[in-house]
């Protein structure tokens, strides 16, 4: 039984908590990475909760921090163009493959662009995925211009009238302004062919409060429309995504929970929140 369930049990029995209980709850909340601000807010709200329906009440307090923007993935009219961005090592390439597999399984035609021309063997990694899933991968030269690869991909997706076109990009730390400028260029260039419907920022569930900063700066340069929260199958709860929802209003759209292509699903608010409190 998680500490939170113990807390619920206590709340149902009596409203009288010792300071130590509150400290435990604070620790639990902090350790889910929602951050000190949300933790405080939550603690204060929780103190007012009365015994009946304590659990729902607490889930509701958390839920109201979710963004009011739609958590549904966006689909365009002709080819839906999705760009996947994020810092290094969050699982962008894997998420691109999982997305492709998800759409492929729902009967859509998919084209991928291997826009990570920087990391050694990233192109091969995506191609291997492409072969496994059975979707076309457009690639260019290693260390080539990612914008041109994305452009070629967009053209090819348009020509073949594909339903979904997904662009993988190289991981970059958000504080490197030249790399962020490169990313905006990729977006600009692709938009000469077709509008980008969705920009997904991949956030690793183990990320701490730095995730907020990542979301803020990526949004400044490429207008992020949704979050892919990866590696939720570990011990990390990905609380920083809630902080991102609360502070920046960017909705979580997808959740990654494992290494194989099926371990991926559209975001579900209830199970995410319950996971945070587990």
Contact footprint for another protein (CB under 8 A): 26-27, 30-33, 35-36, 87-91, 118-122, 124-125, 128-129, 173-176, 204-211, 213-214, 231, 233-237, 239-240, 259
User: Shortest Cβ distance from residue 71 to another protein (Å)?
Assistant: 22
Q: In this structure, are residues 91 and 260 in contact, taking their beta carbons and an 8 Å threshold?
A: no
Q: Which two tokens stand for residue 222?
A: 């490429």
CA–CA separation, 223 vs 113, rounded Å? 20
Cα–Cα distance measured from residue 185 to residue 58, given in angstroms and rounded to the nearest whole number: 43
Q: Torsion angle of alpha carbons 102, 206, 249, 98, nearest 10°?
A: -10
Phi, psi of 202 (to 5 degrees): -90, 120
State which residue, 195 or 234, has the beta carbon closest to another protein: 234
Q: How far is the CB of 230 from another protein (least distance, A)?
A: 8
CB 192, min distance to another protein, A: 28
Q: At its nearest, how many Å lie between another protein and the CB of residue 161?
A: 28
Please say which residue, 153 or 238, places its beta carbon nearer to another protein.
238
Smallest separation (angstroms) from another protein to the CB of 159: 28
CA angle 259, 261, 262 (to 5 degrees): 105
Q: Which is nearer to another protein, 57 or 179 (CB)?
A: 179
Query: Measured from the CB atom, is 151 or 272 closer to another protein?
Result: 272
Q: For residues 73 and 115, which CB has a smaller minimum distance to another protein in the complex?
A: 115
Whether residue 126 contacts residue 114, with contact meaning beta carbons closer than 8 Å, is answered with yes
* C-alpha span between 149 and 186 (Å, rounded): 9
């Amino acid at each position: 039984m998680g500490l939170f369930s113990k807390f619920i049990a206590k709340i149902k029995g009596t409203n009288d908590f010792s300071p130590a209980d509150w400290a435990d709850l604070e620790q639990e909340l902090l350790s889910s990475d929602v951050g000190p601000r949300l933790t405080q807010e939550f603690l204060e709200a929780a103190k007012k909760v009365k015994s009946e329906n304590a659990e729902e009440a607490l889930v509701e307090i958390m839920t109201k921090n979710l963004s009011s923007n739609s958590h549904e993935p966006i689909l365009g009219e002709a080819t839906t163009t999705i760009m996947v961005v994020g810092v290094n090592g969050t699982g962008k390439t894997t998420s691109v493959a999982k997305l492709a597999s998800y759409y492929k399984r729902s009967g859509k035609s998919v084209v991928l662009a291997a826009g990570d021309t920087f990391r050694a063997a990233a192109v091969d990694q995506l191609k291997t995925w492409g072969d496994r899933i059975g979707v076309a991968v457009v690639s260019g030269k290693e260390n080539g211009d990612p914008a041109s690869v994305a452009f070629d991909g967009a053209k090819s997706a348009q020509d073949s009238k594909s339903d979904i076109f997904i662009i993988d990009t190289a991981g970059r730390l958000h504080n490197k302004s030249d790399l962020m400028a490169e990313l905006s260029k990729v977006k600009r260039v692709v938009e000469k062919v077709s509008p980008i419907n969705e920009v997904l920022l991949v956030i690793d569930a183990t990320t701490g409060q730095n995730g907020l900063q990542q979301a803020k700066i990526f949004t400044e340069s490429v207008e992020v429309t949704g979050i892919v929260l990866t590696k939720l199958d570990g011990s990390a709860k990905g609380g920083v995504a809630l902080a991102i929802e609360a502070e920046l209003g960017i909705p979580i759209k997808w959740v990654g929970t494992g290494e194989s292509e099926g371990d991926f699903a559209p975001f579900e608010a209830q199970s995410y929140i319950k996971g945070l409190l587990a």
